Amino acid sequence: MPFRRLILLGSIFWLLLQPAAEVRAELVVVVNARSGVAAMTRNEVINIFFGRNRQFFNGLEAQPVDLADSHPDRRRFYSMLVGKDLSDINAYWSRQVFSGRMQPPPKVNSTEEVLKWLVSHPGGIGFVDLSKADARVRVVYELTP
């Protein structure tokens, strides 16, 4: 009996030590399901979210949407996509706006607002947790740590 109790306690202790990152949802890039875009490369995603390219390969105007700075997925997205923190991303957009080159994507406050944006914009592109992607959108790129 004491041996079983020791094994049980050891198992519980082992489970508690597992990294919390493993339970985090996977971030994916999604587009309007009717956009005609089935998959994208990392470079294509970067070019659209940084304003370097405003069209998908099929000629449809890309309309990216971003999350607010306070949303934790925004930090994760840019960290995983380009290895930069939000201060670097915001500085990039400040330079673009100041020089008159371009405006940053509009920002919304929640994943549900991202999905609503994508539904109402044929060329909409954004990012959400994989668990939130539904029939309204198509996953075109999966971000990996």
User: pLDDT (tens digit, 9 = 90+) per residue, 56-92?
Assistant: 999 999 999 999 999 999 999 999 999 999 999 999 9
Asked whether residue 8 carries a pLDDT value surpassing 50, the answer given is no
Could you report the per-residue pLDDT of 93-111, keeping only the tens digit for each? 999 999 988 999 999 999 9
Q: Is the pLDDT of residue 36 over 80?
A: yes
What is the arithmetic mean of pLDDT over 101-127? Answer: 96
Strands 124-129 and 107-108: unpaired
Q: Are 130 and 25 in contact (CB under 8 A)?
A: yes
Q: For residues 108 and 114, is the Cβ–Cβ distance under 8 A?
A: yes
Across all residues in the chain, what is the average pLDDT? 87
Domains of the chain plus CATH, in order, are 24-142 (3.40.190.10)
